[in-house]
Chains A and B, each alone.
Chain A
Amino acid sequence: ETGVTQTPRHLVMGMTNKKSLKCEQHLGHNAMYWYKQSAKKPLELMFVYSLEERVENNSVPSRFSPECPNSSHLFLHLHTLQPEDSALYLCASSQLAGGRSYEQYFGPGTRLTVT
């Protein structure tokens, strides 16, 4: 399944670096999401974009900055991260239509390590 792709798959960065995570969906969906998955913790929703407009920001620190230039692409810009930000970052997409719930499709994730 290559419906949702993420790059890079692995990233090691220092606390003073700036990097970006990229997500692309090839499913024609109109909503995209960023999640953080840390060890032994539930998947945490970070950001939601619906029709390229941010509709949810779950009190995420400003060192994480999302960008959604179009319905197929989603970025997560990272700067001055902390070691506790090390986690698997998952992108997902879904279709929103007439209030019906459609399942979310996940990308393979970016394993981020902050040193």
Chain B
Amino acid sequence: GQNIDQPTEMTATEGAIVQINCTYQTSGFNGLFWYQQHAGEAPTFLSYNVLDGLEEKGRFSSFLSRSKGYSYLLLKELQMKDSASYLCAVRSIEAAGNKLTFGGGTRVLVKP
């Protein structure tokens, strides 16, 4: 099976940096996704990593280490609108239909 762990909640100040960690255990790893979900809204895609290293997209970056079963999402220059839940999801090559397994999500609260 698959096991995905991420912190439940984090608080940070506007303009600061926050790093959300995600650890996973899976067989046949085939990609890790990060999604953002505002309260009452649909999850929206942020980033995808399948090879080791850092992927940067503006203020958001995502890192992957396959040997450690570890990823993080880095949010820079935090804005109030970044207050949301951040979901880590893993895809397994053994999973039919591009199936993703999600972690419980990390709720980030940005304070002024």
Contact = CB atoms under 8 A, between A and B. Distances in A.
Tell me if chain B binds chain A: yes
Contact of B97 (A1, A48, A106): A48
A43 B102 contact: yes
Interface size on B, as a range, is 20 to 34
B103 A42 contact: yes
A90 B99 contact: no
Given A42-B105, A101-B50, A101-B91, A56 B96 contact: yes
A64 interface: no
A101 B101 contact: no
A98 B103 CA distance: 26
Interface size on A, as a range, is 20 to 34
Given A101-B48, A106-B44, A108-B42, A55 B97 contact: yes
Contacts of A66: none
Interface of B: 4, 30-31, 33, 35, 41-45, 48, 50, 87, 89, 91, 95-105
B105 A101 contact: no
Given A42-B103, A103-B48, A50 B97 contact: yes
A74 interface: no
A87 interface: no
Closest 10 CB pairs of A and B: A48-B97, A106-B42, A43-B102, A103-B45, A50-B97, A55-B96, A101-B31, A55-B97, A42-B104, A42-B102
Interface-central residue, A41, A43, A48, by most chain B CB under 10 Å: A43
Interface in A29-49: 31, 33, 40-43, 45, 48-49
